[in-house]
Structure 1
Amino acid sequence: MPRTAYMESDLESFRQQWQQEILQQRQQKQVLKEDNVSIITNKIQDASNLGNSTLIPVIEESNLSKNDGSISFLINSFCNMTFDLLPLNPTKKIHISKLPNELLICILKQLILAGDVNSLENGFALVCKKFFLLSRDSSIWHLLCERIYNVDNHKELVKMCVNTHGNDWRRMYIERPRVRLDGVYISKCKYLRPGLAENTWIQPTHLVTYYRYLRFFSDGSCITLLTTKEPIQVVKNFDKIVSILKISEKSKNFMIGYWKFMNNDDISSENQVIIRANDNGLPKFTFHLKFDLKSTSIGKFNKLSWIEYYSVNNLTTEKTELLLKNESNYYFSKEFLSCNRGKKIKKKKKRKKSYSTQYSHVVPNRSTDWAISGLTSEIGRVPVLFTVYGRNLR
């Protein structure tokens, strides 16, 4: 028999064997797929171990058979499994493994109330599969949405979540506009004004710089401060209630107020935030601030743009519009809060005063500077920080 005939017979036998192996593999995959679907669609006996609220609703068999690679499918595949916490060192015990899931969820809720959502998502949920499932509990995100959106009627919040976000509280927290409670919104304002010339050869110009600080709280209250101090000197005290009270006693430009969103039914105004604040030094006036909440390339909902700013006389109900010409937008920052906890700030060395640049705290006169800073002469005094620039006119 020629050599080519032997080769053809060998190839034919190899081809038949290969086809049989492929067929067996496909049949095994189909059997495993059917077994997984039947296991997941059965009633979950240990669903109570995941907390009072159900993490994963029952899904139809047709949807479970489709592995789309999403997180929801991943959670559904985990729901029928039991997870144990194992230590890295076998000789040591894990005390947290003794706690029931209901108690762990209560601890996570306290973490949310403390305003540390980042630790829940980027810390606790990344430890293991069990902690990941606990961090997705709907009661945690429900509590967080109640804390963030400050709605008077709870039924409106539930209706909003069901109709707009598919009854997913975590999705609502991510997608719907919200104010940031874990930091401070800062606005740096500058303007120029002419100075008094000592002679005809030099004409000085003042660069006035001041800062506005705004922080929101979950109970619907907020604080705002107008000062010349830089953020590294001021923001470190904004996370301590005692320090806030000290600031309010020392500063004449410290206001305490309440915030809320505009009408939630109107889509065009759902990003607008309204603040009504009072100054202890000016009890006759109530200040109204209106902002547009926006996102930037750096982060979500980290910018507040001015829309309206006015004061109302509580005795005469007279409304006075305050100028926004020199006011800048607010930008969110939490790095000062995080970096200053438990750390001492090093004092900078004092620089010698020069002829061209001088820094000092001054009180602007009542006739001219109120129009520049956006306030009226009846409201109060604003400390400003100015720099003198000399320009030769020869």
Structure 2
Amino acid sequence: MDAELQAFRAQWRDEVVARHGAPAAEAPAAPAREGGVARRASPAPAPQPVRPDSLRTLLEALSEAHADSIARHAAASAEQDAVDGVAERLGALQLHASVHDIYPADEQVAVPVARLPDELWLAILLHIVMPTRAPELVPVPREFQAFEPEPGEPWRAYTGPDYVSLERVGRVCWRLRWLSAHTQVWKAVAQACEAPLVRAPCSWRDAFVHEPRVRMNGTYIATCEYTQQGLSVENVWVRVLHKVEFFRYLRFFPNGRCLSWLTTEPPSEAVRQLVPGLRTKGCAAGRWHMLVDDGAPPARRGATIVIDDLRDPHLRAYTFQMTLHLRPSPGRWHRLEMLAYSSLHLQTAEVVPIPHRHARPFVFSRVVGYGV
């Protein structure tokens, strides 16, 4: 019986192929039953449409417009040459017709790098993405280390990818602009974080720009001010108000660590001290992770930053936790708002909210001395 059934199926499949010119689909299997009730398989989710690379699309449009402009100028020059007999203008215009070559500013000077293949250029760009070691860091004694760099760990683990220099290289000429937008380069940039960006239905560069991320080549700074009533030494009837100013500093690292520092030192003096190993009053080291806001459109998608296990060496009986909101600002990601701040007593497990009515939003400031 089984042999006859298989022969009938094969004959039916051949007839369908001969009639429609396409392979026939296998007969659907009977639905599985669980507890006497038929169970249908859930349909597979529809794939998201792939959005084109915005930068590459722009470069292609500009390249086509440039080629059309060269063609028009060449046609006009050919007509003028027929009248004036000047043949040099056409040759000069055709020299720069391609945007994929490197041309010197001075025609008399040779450009050896113009002969480099794309593979070598990509290797150079990947090396540029690796940040340089910060030249002037404040030395910290070993006994005051809050957390030390792991032996042999690359400096990228503390500064992030050097995408700023990558974009500067792209400003040199058309060819380097094309190469600096290569998928391989921006994939290395996007995956150099503690929580690597999952490739969205777009390019790696667009994902790096538009997906929420914490910037790490600088410090988030909140300038806080409040007034406090005082007394006048000379006249007790005079009301004196003191203006108190202090700063909160947050620095994030791609390895999941972070530093939080509450101090009165101004940013010009404090940011260069905010390095791994700093141990001073008001400085705590902890761990951070990010929760992306799901369901929001890309232009309004933010994230929640949770910093826990904040430990201040001067307050060994407590740990602190901070919850912040990363405002939606694609391409910038420069503002953090404090949502909650609490302390945890390690002996009693008591959680006490810490008032932060004087807190202001954190604004990101890039620090060149960090090496990126």
TM-score bucket of the superposed structures, by smaller chain: 0.5 to 0.7
Evaluate the alpha carbon distance shift between residue 290 and residue 341 of structure 1 in structure 2; reply closer, same or farther with a 3 A threshold. Answer: closer
170, 189, 204: which is aligned to 1:144? Answer: 189
Map of 2:322 onto structure 1? 289
Question: What residue in structure 2 maps to residue 214 of structure 1?
Answer: 250
Residue aligning to 1:228: 264
Residue in structure 2 matched with residue 118 of structure 1 by the alignment:
164
Output the CA distance in 2 between the equivalents of 1:137 and 1:304. 31
Per-residue deviation, 1:119: 2.7
Query: Aligned partners of 1:269 and 1:167: how far apart in 2?
Result: 16
Q: Is 1:320 aligned with 2:307?
A: no
Q: Deviations over 1:352-384 (max 9, x none)?
A: xxxxxxxxxxxxxxxxxxxxxxxxxxxxxxxxx
1:269 shift after superposition: 8.2
Look up the match of 1:254.
283
Verify the 8 A CA contact 2:223 2:246 in the aligned structure 1. yes
Report the CA distance shift for 1:312/1:94 in structure 2 as closer, same or farther (over 3 A).
Answer: farther
Gaps of 5+ in 1: 1-68, 343-394
Aligned to 2:58: 71
Instruction: Give the residue type in structure 2 aligned to 1:252.
Output: K
Question: Aligned partner of 1:217: which letter?
Answer: F
Deviations 1:130-181 (A, max 9, x none): 2122111112222222224x32xx6xx54xx2xxx42411111121122222
The total of aligned residue pairs comes to 250
Q: Which residue of 1 aligns with 2:216?
A: 181
Q: Does 1:104 align with 2:116?
A: no
Q: 1:296 to 1:140 in 2, by over 3 A?
A: closer
Cα gap change, 1:90/1:139 in structure 2, threshold over 3 Å: closer, same or farther? same
- TM-score, L = length of structure 1: 0.55
Contact 1:262 / 1:269 at 8 angstroms: preserved in 2? no
Q: Secondary structure at the match of 1:126?
A: coil
Structure 1 residues 99, 323: CA separation in 2 closer, same or farther (over 3 Å shift)? same
Structure-2 separation of matches of 1:341 and 1:70: 34
8 Å Cα contact 1:295/1:302 also seen in 2: no
For residue 119 of structure 2, what is the amino acid of its counterpart?
E
Task: Specify which structure has the higher proportion of helix.
Answer: 1
Note if contact 2:190-2:208 (Cα within 8 Å) is conserved in structure 1. yes
Q: Does 1:203 align with 2:239?
A: yes
Which consecutive unaligned segments of at least 5 residues does structure 2 have?
A: 1-55, 67-97, 132-160
Compare relative contact order (CA 8 Å, sep 6+) and give the higher one, 1 or 2. 2
CA distance in 2, matches of 1:103, 1:283: 52
How much does 1:109 deviate? 2.6
Matched, 1:192 2:227: yes
CA shift for structure 1 position 218? 2.2
1:275 counterpart (297, 307, 317): 307
Q: CA deviation at 1:306?
A: 0.9
For 1:308 and 1:187, how far apart are their aligned partners in 2? 15
User: Offset at 1:264?
Assistant: 6.3
Aligned pairs for 1:344-355 (under 5 A) are none
Query: Are the counterparts in 1 of residues 101 and 174 from structure 2 also a CA contact under 8 Å?
Result: no
Select between 197-206 and 310-319 the one with higher mean Cα deviation. Answer: 197-206
TM-score normalised to the size of structure 2? 0.58
Identity level (%): 27
Aligned residue number for residue 303 of structure 1:
335
1:88 aligns with 105
User: What is the SS of the residue equivalent to 2:192?
Assistant: helix
Query: What is the rounded CA distance, in whole Å, between the counterparts of 1:100 and 1:144 in structure 2?
Result: 22
Pair 193,166 (structure 1): closer, same or farther in 2 beyond 3 Å: same
Contact 1:294-1:300 within 8 A present in 2 as well? no
